[in-house]
Amino acid sequence: MTKIYNFSAGPAVLPKEVLAQARDEMMDWHDSGMSIMEMSHRGKEFMGIAAEAEADLRELLAIPANYKVLFLQGGAHSQFSMIPLNLLRNKTTADYINTGIWSQKAIEEAKRYCHVHVAASSADKNFTYAPTQNQWQLNPDAAYVHYTSNETIGGVEIFSTPETGNVPLVADMSSHILSRPIDVSRYGIIYAGAQKNIGPAGLTIVIVREDLIGETLPGTPTMFDYRIHADNDSMYNTPPTFAIYIAGLVFKWLKAEGGLAAMEQLNVLKSALLYDFLDNSDFYNNPIAIENRSRMNIPFTLKDAALDAQFLKQAQHNGLLQLKGHKLLGGMRASVYNAMPLQGVQTLIEFMREFELAQA
């Protein structure tokens, strides 16, 4: 059977070891006589699973003690409104950096609650780069600064942590959290939907500095108040138990693989292989500025878009799945998250080389 490599942008590839363990534990978790899916979230078994997942995530990211880790639902989309609802307080304006489709979605939602000041934008070059910090026109009266540190659709990643002084920095890290070490203490809030680089869809992770919790705009729904979730260890309502369990297994897998520094090394290697190949080809193209090329999401086009359908069909036939680009951009996109082995990238490049040669 052809070996399968899954390049989906999300929900995305998970480590084979994690899936195998979940299979083995599916019917009867640790002699409890129950599947995880059948357990009360308030029982000692699941409480233990959730506590261990949090402890492992804290260890991986070296999360300081004055930050809460919340396991929520609603996706990154819910955070687009939860952030202004919790962080505006008595301010009326927030700074947003616009680097592409996900930034824009966050901006549109925030406009429901405040004046959005777009402090920098790469719209002038069709979002093929990220403005550097010295191009950001930050407003000292902003309630917070929001940016999307990896644009999943455009393939634009910001590698340095912005400096925002006393204004809290908020990052949508949905598609590259855990791909490399970060200094959490530089951020007010980090949030991420799990389905890209963590685990199954349905879980959203929020890492929030404690002093930013507790004051919401009037009318904020209970479920949108960080305080409620922080005070109840993310169990105010029924949490996405199975997704938390799988995320916990992924955290253990990451630790066994050597943690985030080891992941970064591998991610540098994998993405450089593919970018080098693209750059040395006249047939394939990636338009992103070199210093902002995402290590996770690598969009590319073929010289002739009329070949796209054939490329995708043959790729699939060769076990290379879900390479179709986002519908807004067209072309292709290879997402090479933590769980994508080096071999997967090498196999993709080999296929792309052969496909190009066959067109000559």
Ligand X SMILES: *Cc1c(COP(=O)(O)O)cnc(C)c1O
Q: Of 137-156, which residues contact ligand X (CB under 6 A)?
A: 148, 152
Give the shortest CB-103-to-ligand X separation in angstroms.
9
Q: Which of 6, 86, 98, 174 binds ligand X (CB under 6 A)?
A: 174
What residue number has its CB nearest to ligand X? Answer: 75
Cis peptide bond prior to 200, omega within 30° of 0? no
175 counts as binding ligand X under rule CB under 6 A: yes
| Local structure of residue 161 (DSSP, 8 states) | P
Question: Encoding tokens for residue 185?
Answer: 């203490």
Question: Encoding tokens for residue 226?
Answer: 């960080």
Are 142 and 94 in contact, with CB atoms under 8 Å apart? yes
10 counts as binding ligand X under rule CB under 6 A: yes
Query: Whose Cβ is closer to ligand X: residue 76's or residue 266's?
Result: 76
Specify the stretch interacting with ligand X by CB under 6 A; choose among 14-22, 62-70, 72-80, 345-353: 72-80
**Residues that are catalytic:** 102, 172, 196
Dihedral over alpha carbons 63, 66, 70, 75 (to 10 degrees)? -70
335 counts as binding ligand X under rule CB under 6 A: no
Give the shortest CB-102-to-ligand X separation in angstroms.
4
Q: Which of 12, 18, 76, 116 binds ligand X (CB under 6 A)?
A: 76
199 counts as binding ligand X under rule CB under 6 A: no
Query: Whose Cβ is closer to ligand X: residue 331's or residue 355's?
Result: 331
Query: Whose Cβ is closer to ligand X: residue 148's or residue 241's?
Result: 148
Are 96 and 103 in contact, with CB atoms under 8 Å apart? yes
Say how far apart CA 75 and CA 201 lie, in whole Å.
8
Q: Which of 168, 193, 240, 344 binds ligand X (CB under 6 A)?
A: 193
220 counts as binding ligand X under rule CB under 6 A: no
Non-local CB neighbours of 162 within 8 Å, separated by 6+ positions? 97, 133, 136, 145, 147, 169
Say how far apart CA 236 and CA 225 lie, in whole Å.
11
224 counts as binding ligand X under rule CB under 6 A: no
Query: Whose Cβ is closer to ligand X: residue 239's or residue 284's?
Result: 239
Other Cβ atoms less than 10 A from the Cβ of 276: the count is 11
Non-local CB neighbours of 201 within 8 Å, separated by 6+ positions? 10, 11, 75, 193, 194, 195, 243
Non-local CB neighbours of 354 within 8 Å, separated by 6+ positions? none
Query: Whose Cβ is closer to ligand X: residue 6's or residue 148's?
Result: 148
Query: Whose Cβ is closer to ligand X: residue 158's or residue 352's?
Result: 158
77 counts as binding ligand X under rule CB under 6 A: yes
Binding site residues, ligand X, CB under 6 A? 10, 75-77, 102, 148, 152, 172, 174-175, 193, 196
